[in-house]
Structures are given as C-alpha cells and as structure tokens.
Structure 1
Amino acid sequence: MYMIVGYSKVIITPNKPMTMSGYDNRHKMAKDVHDDLYARCLIIKINGDSVVMISLDLLGVDETLTNKIKDALINIDEKLTRKAIFVCATHTHSGPSNLFLNRDGYNIEYVDDIVSKCKLAFLDAEDDLKKSAVFFGYRNITGIGLKRNSPNIEKKNKYIKCYFLKIKRNGEDILLINFPCHMTVLDENNLYYSKDLIYGMELTFNDKGINKFLFMNGAAGDISTRYYKKESSFDEAERLGRSLAEQILDTDDEGLSEVYAEDIVAEEFALLLKYREALTEDEKKARVDALNKKLLLTDDYRQKRDIESSLMVLNRPNKKFEVIPDVIKLNGKYFKKIKIPLVIIGKLAYIGIPLEIYYSTGIKIQNIINKKFGVNHTFIFGYCGGYGGYMPPTKEFNQMTYEVVACPFERDSEDKLLEKLSEDRNEKMY
C-alpha cells in the first residue's frame, strides 16, 4: 500500500516581545526576531488512516497546549485518533516563555494563537497531500553534540546517531530529522527569537532546494553542543546547524531503505510517576553548601555553568503539585500521569516521550519497542505531548548533576518507564 504525505509550515513567532524561555537567570523580554519560529506539520496517510506530526519551535509543550491542538485537529477530521497525533517541541532556548498552564505569566492569548496556527498548518498539509515514496536512513553525526556531563571525554570519533525519513514525490524531497540535542548554542544573553542551530540547518537545506523539513528532537536529556560550540552566537548556531544538515545530506541514497506499510497502528502507554518530596530547609542548605564547595574546586567553565544552574534550581520555590496538569494524589503522595503515544508504520515505530530522557534511555526504549513489536527501528520523539522534566537513569543519582537536581521524580522513574513499555499488552494501564 502506497503512502500519501502532506507537509506545511506556519510562522508562530510572537508579534510582540515576551519573556524568553529556557534559562533561570534570564528574565528580560525579547528584543526582536533573528529568525522566525514555526509550526511544521507532516501528515502520513495509509488506506484512509493518518498519523500527524507537529513540530513547534518552542522550549516545550505542556499537556494543556497538546490537548488543545489535538482537539482542534480532530474537530477538523473526526477520523483522526489522539494516539496518532504527535505534538512536539524542538526545545529551542530562544523562544517565548509563558506557555505552561498555572505558571506565572501564562499567556493564554499566545497559546490560543499557537493552536490556531497548528490548525492552519494541518489544513495546508491536507491540501498538500500527494502519493509519496518514503525511505528510512541514519547517519552518525560528529562535531555537534555529546554527553554534557563528561568533562574529560575524548571527542575524537565520538558520534550521536541521527535518524531520518526522506520522502520523495514529484521531484521534491521532504525530510523528517530525528536528532537528540539541546538547542543551547545561544545562551541566556541572547534576547532575539531564534530556532538556534535549526536556523543553520534550514539555511543549508534551502540552499540545496529542500524547503520542506521537520525537526523532531530525541533523547536529548544529557546531550548538548557544550564541547563543540566555540561561542554563543548566531554565527556559531549557523555553523553547527549547517554542519548537521550537510552530514545528513551526505548520506548516500543507495543506503536508504524504502518503507512499506499496509496500515497505521496506534497505541498508547500510560503510567504514574511519583514526585520527589520537597527538600527541607536543612536538606536544601546541605546541597547548596556541597555545590558551592564543588564550584570552588573546578576551573572548567562548563562545569561551573552546570553547578551554577543546579544552584538556581535549588533556589526555585517548591512545586505546587495540585495545580500541575494530570497530577493525582494517592495516600498523601503526588503522582504525574504520563501518556506515551506509539505509532507503527511498517517496520518503523514512532514513540512520543513527554520528558527529558537521557540518550542511553532512548537506546533502551528502542531495544524494547523493536523487540516487542518486531520493528527495525523506533524513532524517539522527545519533548512530546507534555513537559514532565528530567528523567536521569537511577545510577546517575549518585552524583549531583544539574539533571539530577532538576529531576522532579523519584530515582526509580526510568525503571518504571522501561517496565511499563516492556509489559504485555493485556497488562492494566497503570
């Protein structure tokens, strides 16, 4: 059965200054626009069924925004199933803040504008539907991202895998790029809206005549440009983005595998993750003292930034669990309801994770899904359908990294996630 594919993109750059997102120590409003932010929509149809992938140039999307977008699309096409709609963020740290319900400054006007733009992108993608050939490939990417908590890492020959779809139709290509990396070439001093290194990718793709692409971030919780960027600037975001795009385009088409499918299968996993209890003032002081001592003992500016970020996390006010979407209280403890959509098309699976998981966790998930469903590869879409926070592997809790300090869940949360994904299909939901 052949596939029908449609693509569209719509600008979602705010039309006025908003507070910038992504850094605790940046509270200023945006000054201007460097490069526009987009909602990009890809629709794949097989035999009347659809999967919809939406990529937003934002730090994150919460469950409220995700549900608003899904509701809007289903109102247009009642045949759509919620489990087959992926709403993801690229995780740029140079976009607007004020997008998360019940947080200070929540901007309902802009949230509703994003929903409206996603509806428009979906309608335009529907109008763009054409018979297509879909190919799968991957590339080992060097010189862009590495594990950011490895100060002594030898960078030579180290790589991060990038998976992609190349969709061919009527003489044009559409690319779906699935690469895990924090969009933090630009730092907290930047006050211009930007896609960060995706900006450089877009320039190269456009130079090569590819005007349609979708970037889906991956298991990027511990992956960043920290050891490769020379400075935090737009020139550097362009350099790294162009390098990533050029490496992808350098992949020989003869090495790609065509994707065949007779249908689209959509499922959904759901589990409860227990929140960590708030630290007492004495516990918080002990951690602050330990981090300050560590700060005095390092000369590595990257480690210093990590420690300083950890200190800012400890200075955040305690969570008000009762106002967080999809939080339930059981026996006096708070739990987050996590929903994970899964779509299978032929020998490929796509799974949306509403968390910041580690690269190693992504590999574990791929191994589980590949074996369980008999597929050749699983795309990991991070920052998808929610923004639950960091989820480090259990062993990482032996050290006080930024990710561990910022993790809102108990130390066994990764174990719980992997156990849920491994369960037989007849197991109960929670």
Structure 2
Amino acid sequence: MLKCAISEQDITPIKPMDLSGYTIDFNYPLRRGISNGALDPLLCVTMLLEINGERVLFVSLDFIVVIKSFTEEIREAISNRFSIPVMNIIVSGTHTHSGPHVFLPQYVSNEDQEKILEKDYLNIVKEKIFLSVEEVLHNLESVEAYYSNTHINGYYGNRNVRSGSYDDSFHVIRFKNSEDKVIGSFANISCHPTILKENSLKFSADLLGNIRKNISEKWDSPVLLTNGAAGDVSSRHFTNDNTYDTVIEFGTGISNQVLNNFNESRIDLDDIKVKKVSLKQEYSPKKDKNLAGINILDNPDVPEIFKKEVKRKQSVNNILFELESYIYLIGPVSFITFPGECVTSLAEKIKSASNMEITMLICYANDFWYYFVPEEEYGKYFESIISPLPMGLADKYGHLISDELQNIQSK
C-alpha cells in the first residue's frame, strides 16, 4: 500500500541578511550589501511516502546549498523524534542564488571546516522542518501515483556549449487520493535557477520557485521540486535580461510546456530498496600539478577573481573528501541523491547504468562538494576551475554510483 502527504512552510527571512550566490570565495560575497525585501517566498516543502510500511522523507529548501553538519543534525533529529530511518531522509536545496547566505563548506572556509552562519534564522528553519514532518505524519493518506515526463525546449540548455547536451526532462509524479484529488506532486528539473544576478538584492526562489508556484496553483496542491544535473545547465543563452519579469516569463513558459503536454500514466510504487554509496579520499591541491586553472594565471584576459580562486586552491595543503549518495529504487523509479553539482556528461554516464523505467538525480542533496566534472571536460570550463575536486575524482565517484546501482538492481 502506498501513502503520501506533503507540507509547505514559508522560510523567507524576516530580517535583512547577506545573499548567497555569485561568488567564488564564499567568505567574500560579490553582492555588495544585504537583502532589502523579497520578490517571492522561500519555501520548505516536505513530502512523506510510505511504501508498505516503510517511510521515505523528502525535504526541499530554497537554499543555494545544504552542508553535511546541518543535514546530519536535521536527519538524526527527525529519525529520533519520528522513527524514520536516517538513510530514508533526503534534505536538498533548490540551488536558488537569491537565498540567504547561511553556509560555508569547509573547503572555502578560512578555518578549513564547515561553518553555519545565521544560526538564529536556521533554528527557525529547523523548527519549521520539524513542524512540516509532524504535518505529513498527521495527514498521511492512501494514494495512487501517476508519472509524466515533459521535454522542455527554448528556455535553458548547456551553458558552456550552446548546442551541447543537457537533460531537458521535467519529471512529475502526482499523488491522487481515493477521491481522485491530487494531494501533492514530486517534480525534478535540471537547470540553474540563476536568472536574477548579483545586482538583485531581494530574496527569491528564482526560476524554480516560479515554476513550482505556477504548477502548484494549477493543481491546487503543493509541489516538491528538486534540481538534477544542473551543473552546466542554465538559461544563459536564452535570456535577454536578468529582471524578475524574465523570471515570470520563463517560469510561465516552462510551466505551460509541462501543463499543455501533460500525459501521465499510473505507476506502482509498491516496493523499495535503499543503498548508501560513500567514498573517502585525501587530496593535496598544493601538490597537484594538474590543478584546474593553473594555465590561466598568466592570462591577462582572465578575470582576477578566477585567478584568486586558483591561487587559494594552490595554498590548501589537504582536503578530505567524504562523499555520500543514496540510491532509492521505488517501484519503476530510481532516485539518486548527489552531494553537489553534477554536470550533464557525468549524469548521463550514471543514468546509463540504470535499467529502471525512470531515473532522476536529486542534486544539492545532504551535502555540497561543488562541481563534479569528468576528465574529458576537466580544466576546460568555469566549473572545474572553481571546484575543489581533483582530476579523476568525479569519474571515480560516478563509477562507484553506477556499480552500486547495478548491484542493487540485480538483487
């Protein structure tokens, strides 16, 4: 038996804060000033699935990233208070670049450790997460699941190579109760929500938030929208300006493609398998002769901020990568969490190992290790220059996920 419930909480800060996004070094935000209001609400959307008694919880936050120390605390607290297994709890960010600046991953912190900023605000967020879990547990009801996939065109694509490959899928799983009412939906898109730029000083969930709002209003129920392999995907080649009017225009256009081409079919989410994938590796950027970006240091045409980031990486003696993903096989669907930004080519390799009817990556999930760029693209584009990952680590991790995916599918 399948049960589902969904909750939506407003987590827009009530006081001005530094905004996240548009910075190489998180210690020095490029935005000169703090927020002065909000264009739309930032949300926490929580969905609980119960598959034959086993529960899986999705928590989506309108943050640019989430880090391990924060998500571990949340997941363990939820597990202790509500008896949901830690490995069945996914906390992810939508990756808006117009949210509050609340986290410093350890590899960009001066103290070489994770830092949580704005603790008072995050305590409020935590309480709203716990409230949302209470709500979904209380509202859990029997449902049937229906799946649709729309291929989006004309609004975003590969930002490095205009004609390059990208994941154009907009996945939707709608959950309907015994009265055939849609009580909530799970959705997945792969695109940077970066229409608003560094000159915008208002909070916003940006493109993904506008899409979510439009679809939620149409179906009269909340939508939990996750972000997939968006590492090298954005609206860069499609926008004429970076105003909020463009957010609305693009959000409406994408929503209309989803709604006007909607063709769903029933799927049976009648069983579940879960597998944890983990990799630890030490790395010394200081000793790395193949460090991405070394070749740009003497190039006068390269912006100084890029050179500064390469030099900062060169000064780091050691990084301990502790990477974790989870694979969830639920009926014909495989959900794969990813602790950072996955570029298209790596996602394609991982998905090629799946024999499931539907495969989705949930990126920016449980932790954040920046861009995962495979060897054939390493050093070519912006993503690997600012990423702490050495050449080959993204491939190694992608292979590990693929191997574990094949193993769990065969059992």
Q: Given the two structures, how large is their TM-score scaled by the length of structure 1?
A: 0.83
**Which residue, out of 373, 378, 382, partners 2:359?**
378
* Residue 350 (str. 1) matches residue 335 (str. 2): yes
The runs of 5 or more residues in structure 1 that have no matched partner are 296-306, 322-332
Contact 1:88 1:382 (C-alpha < 8 Å) held by counterparts: yes
* Residue 59 (str. 1) matches residue 64 (str. 2): yes
Alignment of 1:300-379 (within 5 A): 310-311=306-307, 313-314=309-310, 316=312, 334-368=319-353, 370-371=354-355, 375-379=356-360
Return the offset for 1:46: 1.4
Deviation per CA, 1:52-97: give whole Å up to 9, x if none.
111100000000111111022112222x111111110000000000
Tell me which residue corresponds to 2:392.
412
Tell me which residue corresponds to 1:388.
369
Alignment of 1:275-286 (within 5 A): 275=283, 277-278=285-286
Return the offset for 1:285: 7.7
Deviation per CA, 1:178-223: give whole Å up to 9, x if none.
1011110000001000000123214422542433101100011000
Letter paired with 2:388: P
Q: Secondary structure at the match of 1:67?
A: helix
The runs of 5 or more residues in structure 2 that have no matched partner are 24-29, 106-112
Query: CA distance change for structure 1 residues 426 and 171 in 2, over 3 Å: closer, same or farther?
Result: closer
Deviation per CA, 1:133-179: give whole Å up to 9, x if none.
1012211101221111125x399xx8712222122223432221110
Return the offset for 1:276: 5.1
Q: Secondary structure at the match of 1:245?
A: helix
Deviation per CA, 1:214-244: give whole Å up to 9, x if none.
1100011000110112211111111111112
* Residue 120 (str. 1) matches residue 142 (str. 2): no
Q: Secondary structure at the match of 2:286?
A: coil
**Which residue, out of 137, 143, 147, partners 1:132?**
143
**Which residue, out of 41, 57, 71, partners 2:76?**
71
CA distance in 1 between counterparts of 2:164 and 2:89 reads: 40
Contact 1:172 1:210 (C-alpha < 8 Å) held by counterparts: no
Return the offset for 1:273: 4.1
Deviation per CA, 1:260-317: give whole Å up to 9, x if none.
133322210111244451389xx97852322x33x5xxxxxxxxxxx67634633657
Contact 1:340 1:351 (C-alpha < 8 Å) held by counterparts: yes
Return the offset for 1:3: 0.9
Alignment of 1:5-84 (within 5 A): 5-24=4-23, 25-78=30-83, 80-84=84-88
Q: CA RMSD in A?
A: 2.7
Tell me which residue corresponds to 1:88.
92
Return the offset for 1:394: 0.6
CA distance in 2 between counterparts of 1:287 and 1:148 reads: 20
Alignment of 1:174-193 (within 5 A): 174-193=184-203
Contact 1:198 1:241 (C-alpha < 8 Å) held by counterparts: yes
Tell me which residue corresponds to 2:122.
111
Tell me which residue corresponds to 1:300.
none
**Which residue, out of 155, 172, 175, partners 2:181?**
172
Letter paired with 1:138: N
**Which residue, out of 176, 199, 204, partners 2:214?**
204
Q: Given the two structures, how large is their TM-score scaled by the length of structure 2?
A: 0.87
CA distance in 1 between counterparts of 2:116 and 2:88 reads: 31
* Residue 100 (str. 1) matches residue 104 (str. 2): yes
CA distance in 2 between counterparts of 1:166 and 1:248 reads: 13
Letter paired with 1:197: L
Contact 1:389 1:408 (C-alpha < 8 Å) held by counterparts: yes
CA distance in 1 between counterparts of 2:40 and 2:257 reads: 22
Aligned length: 390
Q: Secondary structure at the match of 2:134?
A: helix
Tell me which residue corresponds to 2:156.
145
Return the offset for 1:418: 2.4
Return the offset for 1:21: 0.3
CA distance in 2 between counterparts of 1:90 and 1:202 reads: 11
Q: Secondary structure at the match of 2:143?
A: strand
Return the offset for 1:259: 1.9
Deviation per CA, 1:333-361: give whole Å up to 9, x if none.
53311111111111111111001111221
Letter paired with 1:384: A
* Residue 397 (str. 1) matches residue 378 (str. 2): yes
Tell me which residue corresponds to 2:296.
287
Query: CA distance change for structure 1 residues 110 and 278 in 2, over 3 Å: closer, same or farther?
Result: farther
Contact 2:211 2:254 (C-alpha < 8 Å) held by counterparts: yes
Contact 2:174 2:185 (C-alpha < 8 Å) held by counterparts: yes
Query: CA distance change for structure 1 residues 159 and 405 in 2, over 3 Å: closer, same or farther?
Result: closer
Q: Percent identity?
A: 24
Query: CA distance change for structure 1 residues 358 and 260 in 2, over 3 Å: closer, same or farther?
Result: same
Alignment of 1:216-255 (within 5 A): 216-253=226-263
